[in-house]
């Protein structure tokens, strides 16, 4: 999932200076799970803004809604009409959702309500950990299901580096060395020989930005 965190309230309020009619649009997928921009968070932000503007004596209209997936045009089409009446839309989705919103509502002003941080997993409730940098050339099958590009501070494919120290990373002593973790799991799997494998230099060319992908079924459309 994509992990994001809501921008500080003061930053959002400052971005809205000078606008009289504001719409806040949430997304009920990833950013809802990480409690940054789902229906609940949108409701909370809208209430906070209404109270704050009222306290300032300013008559700003704040309306809100949340779509199932802001990065998907099919869901966005359900709300586009009502957004036309507003001077500005605050997107509470990840950067991809916010950009689709900006594309679909051009030239309307779209503002980001969250900071998109990483692709991660949820090891326990309320905790998210980065686990994939979407490199486009996955090596997890060789590295015991632990991503060296993300988990290793240096992102090295042929580790460990010379700085690993009793299982900890030299860059951050509070973090486990990714290659020690990989070694330990390969050992448990009976595949320790994998550690001797030398990976060729990464194929940076497989991933240029912005990346795109079309499913076979849709090719030629």
The residues binding ligand SF4 (CB under 6 A) are: 132-135, 138-140, 147, 149-150, 152-154, 156, 159-161, 163-164, 169-171, 177-179
* Closest separation in Å from C-beta 173 to ligand SF4: 10
* Closest separation in Å from C-beta 33 to ligand SF4: 19
* Closest separation in Å from C-beta 179 to ligand SF4: 4
Residues 162-188: b if buried by 16+ CB within 10 A, e if exposed: eebeeeebeeeeeeebbbbbbbebbee
Choice between 80 and 206, CB closer to ligand SF4: 206
* Closest separation in Å from C-beta 117 to ligand SF4: 15
* Closest separation in Å from C-beta 172 to ligand SF4: 8
Choice between 73 and 133, CB closer to ligand SF4: 133
SS3 156: coil
Choice between 66 and 150, CB closer to ligand SF4: 150
- What are the start-end ranges of the E strands in 37-161? 61-67, 88-91, 109-112, 114-124, 127-132
Choice between 116 and 150, CB closer to ligand SF4: 150
At residue 165, φ and ψ (nearest 5 deg) are -140, 110
Overall residue count recorded for the chain in this entry = 221
The CB density around residue 105, as the number of other CB atoms within 10 Å, is 20
Separation CA 130–CA 107 (nearest Å):
34
Query: Are 49 and 21 within 8 A, CB to CB?
Result: no
Choice between 86 and 179, CB closer to ligand SF4: 179
């Amino acid at each position: 999932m994509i992990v994001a965190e809501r921008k500080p309230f003061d930053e959002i309020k400052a971005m809205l200076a000078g606008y009289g009619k504001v719409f806040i649009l949430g997304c009920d997928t990833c950013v809802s799970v990480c409690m940054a921009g789902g229906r609940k968070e949108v409701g909370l932000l809208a209430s906070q803004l209404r109270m704050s503007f009222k306290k300032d004596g300013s008559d700003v209209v704040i309306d809100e809604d949340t779509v199932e997936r802001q990065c998907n045009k099919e869901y966005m089409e359900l709300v586009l009409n009502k957004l036309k009446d507003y001077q500005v839309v605050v997107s509470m989705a990840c950067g991809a959702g916010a950009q689709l919103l900006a594309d679909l509502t051009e030239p309307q002003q779209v503002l980001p309500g969250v900071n998109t941080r990483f692709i991660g997993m949820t090891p326990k409730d309320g905790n998210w950990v980065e686990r994939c940098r979407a490199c486009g050339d996955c090596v997890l099958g060789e590295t015991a299901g632990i991503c060296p590009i993300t988990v290793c501070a240096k992102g090295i494919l042929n580790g460990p580096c010379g700085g690993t120290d009793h299982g900890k990373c030299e860059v951050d002593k509070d973090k486990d060395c990714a290659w020690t973790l990989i070694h330990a799991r390969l050992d448990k799997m009976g595949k320790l020989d994998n550690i001797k494998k030398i990976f060729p230099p990464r194929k940076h060319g497989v991933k240029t930005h912005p990346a795109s992908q079309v499913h076979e079924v849709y090719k030629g459309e």
